[in-house]
Each structure stands twice: as C-alpha cells, then as structure tokens.
Amino acid sequence: MNSGDLGEFELIRKAFQDGSPETHPTTSVVNGDDASVHAVPDGMELVISTDASVCDVHWPDGFPLQSAADRATCAALSDLAAMGAQACWAWVCVMSGSPDDLVELGKGVNAALARYSVELSGGDVAYSPVNALAITVGGMVPVGKAMCRNQAKEGDGVWIIGRAGFSSLGLKQWMAGMEEGYFKRYFEEVKPKLEQGVRLRELGVRCCIDVSDGLLQDASHVALASNVGMTLELSNLPGWDLLCHKVGEESAVRAAVSGGEDYALLFTAHEGMGWLHSFATQIGVCRSGSSVDIQLNGTALEALPSGYDHFA
C-alpha cells in the first residue's frame, strides 16, 4: 500500500510509532494519549527545549529527508547537552505536503531518538507546502546543577568541544548543488554531545552553550548573560589549519566566526579544573568588560559578521 492511501492516524502510526524508541522508565502515560505523563525523581529538575527545522532554511531542497529529520532531532538534543542534562523524551510535530515525505521524516526522527535512547513521547502532523519539523526535547539534571549562560567568571578559560565552521561550509556546498564537496559530510550528520555535556556538569562546569548560530554570536550570549568579556583565538580551534588549507584564511574566519550549524559545546571553566584537555580545547579566556574579541595569531580582527539571523 502506498503511504498516500493511508488515513491520517494510520499514517502517524507508520511514520512514528512503528519502530519508535522504547518507553522511558519515568513515563506513566505513553505516546498515543492526549498527552504524555512523566515523573521526575526526587533531587532532579526538568529541562525542556524546543527547536524548529525548515526545508530550504535548515536543509537544502533535495537533501535526503530521513537525514534532514535525523539532523533536526539531534540539533534539538544538543540544547540538552549544553545544559548537562540526561536526554529522556521528545515531542515532534511534522509538517509536510506528501504522505511519503512524512514517513521519511518519521524514520529520521525515530533513528535519531533510538540512537540516543530518547523516548518519542508524542507530537502531531499537519499539512504544509513546505517540509518542516518542530521538536521539543526534555531531560533531567540534578537540582541546581544545570549549566547556564550566566555563570562565566573573569579569569575562566573558554573551551570548545567540537569544530567551528565545517558544517556551515557543508551546507553551502549542498545549497550550491556540488556533487562532491569536502565539507558536505560535516553538515550531513549532527552528533549532539550529550555524554560530554553530562561529563562537564559532573566535573563542576557551570557555564555552557551549544554553538548553533556562529561562534561570535553564541559566545556573545554568554558574555552578555554573565557580564564578562572574552578574548578568543581562532588558531586554537580544532581543525583550524585544515579549514584554512581547504578554503583559505578569509573564508575560514567567516565560517568559524559566523557560520553556525556546528552544535559544538562552548563552555567556561576555572583554572586548574582537571581532565579538560583530554576531550576539550581551550580557545580563549574571560576578562573584564562585555565584548567578545576575536583574534587570529594574536591580532584582533575587526568588523566581523556576528552570526546567523533568521530575519536579517
């Protein structure tokens, strides 16, 4: 039977309930009722985030829909990683004009959630001329231990887990219709750093953000919330030499500073915090002031684009 021959509720079952991840232990009313019901154990707090992903904005037309939905789901989970939360549940709304497309999007959602043992707790489908997803994710963190943007302190080091610039260059190569492009593979798959986020929180890190709209813009969010300044050195970024080799220094600067779509974790940590060098890279320091200064080989860079703006 073609997916287009199915009614709405049969289509939902085919797209989302067949092969969906197992129920989380804290769930008492599962997906399929008017709403899901979940318990939060003593000593834990609930962490909730929501994200949207739209064709021709977050992924190019012609990009495999299963991969697009997988990527969108992982991008939403990255917000939980930035808080140091254990990912538990997801609620997914999918908009599409094609039943077959909706099934492909559902497969991508389920694949991502199953990979990270996150329950599909509910959602909705709606007709739309444009394929899109709205994904809400939930998790848990010990009371008072969530990593927040307003906890950076003067003298803290600024660290990153992951790369900056690679994914945005991949998106450009996809948008340009390049059959072969070195950076396409970096865009095609998002790996939310959930384990690393929990590890940071357990080590005592209290300030973190995921880099989704560009290094400068997201670092500026932390600086503003924490009332500190930052100085960041681009040459310390993981993969910087490779980035420059592939696209040249000017394009590398632009991609790393304002490209977005990286889903790296940017965090601050006080001097002497152990074990960070084993899985993270220091790229700067917090100081007095309120601005984020970007340097390359010790020289300040001026007039840099700040990052992605949906309405610019």
* Residue-wise pLDDT tens digits, 178-190: 988 999 999 999 9
Average confidence score pLDDT of the chain = 92
* DSSP label of 63: S
Q: What is the pLDDT of residues 7-42, one digit of tens each?
A: 666 766 666 766 666 789 999 998 778 899 999 999
Question: Could you tell me which residues are beta bridge partners of residue 138?
Answer: 48, 89
- In this prediction, residue 274 carries a pLDDT of 79
- In this prediction, residue 18 carries a pLDDT of 62
The proportion of the chain whose per-residue pLDDT surpasses 70, expressed as a percent, equals 92
- In this prediction, residue 97 carries a pLDDT of 92
Cβ-Cβ contacts under 8 Å for 204 (sequence gap 6 or more): 269, 273
Give the residue-averaged pLDDT of 67-74.
Answer: 97
Q: Which residue has the higher pLDDT, 19 or 112?
A: 112
Q: Phi first, then psi: what are they for 75, rounded to 5°? A: -65, -40
Name the nearest CA neighbour of 28 among 39, 19, 18: 39
Asked whether the predicted pLDDT for residue 114 surpasses 50, the reply is yes
Task: Report the relative pairing of strands 27-29 and 281-287 from DSSP bridges.
Answer: unpaired
Give the residue-averaged pLDDT of 34-55.
Answer: 96
Structural domains of the chain in order of their starting residue, each with its CATH number? 3-142 (3.30.1330.10), 149-300 (3.90.650.10)
- In this prediction, residue 10 carries a pLDDT of 73
- Contact (CB, 8 A) for 147 and 205: yes
Q: Any long-range contacts for 294-303 (C-beta under 8 Å, 24+ apart)?
A: 294/215, 294/216, 294/232, 294/234, 294/257, 295/231, 295/232, 295/233, 295/234, 296/233, 296/234, 296/235, 296/249, 296/253, 297/233, 297/235, 298/233, 301/234, 301/253, 301/257
Asked whether the predicted pLDDT for residue 279 surpasses 90, the reply is yes
Asked whether the predicted pLDDT for residue 101 surpasses 80, the reply is yes
Give the residue-averaged pLDDT of 101-117.
Answer: 94
* Residue in the block written with tokens 């860079």: 301
- In this prediction, residue 1 carries a pLDDT of 41
Asked whether the predicted pLDDT for residue 105 surpasses 90, the reply is yes
- DSSP-assigned states of every residue in 198-255: HHHHHHT--EEEEESS-HHHHHHHHHHHHT-EEEEEGGGSTTHHHHHHHH-HHHHHHH
- CA-to-CA dists, residue 78 to 63, 82, 119, angstroms: 21, 6, 16
Give the residue-averaged pLDDT of 202-224.
Answer: 96
**CA torsion, points 287, 293, 298, 299, in degrees to nearest 10?**
-140
Give the residue-averaged pLDDT of 106-118.
Answer: 94
Asked whether the predicted pLDDT for residue 221 surpasses 90, the reply is yes
- Global pTM reads 0.93
Asked whether the predicted pLDDT for residue 6 surpasses 70, the reply is no
- In this prediction, residue 154 carries a pLDDT of 98
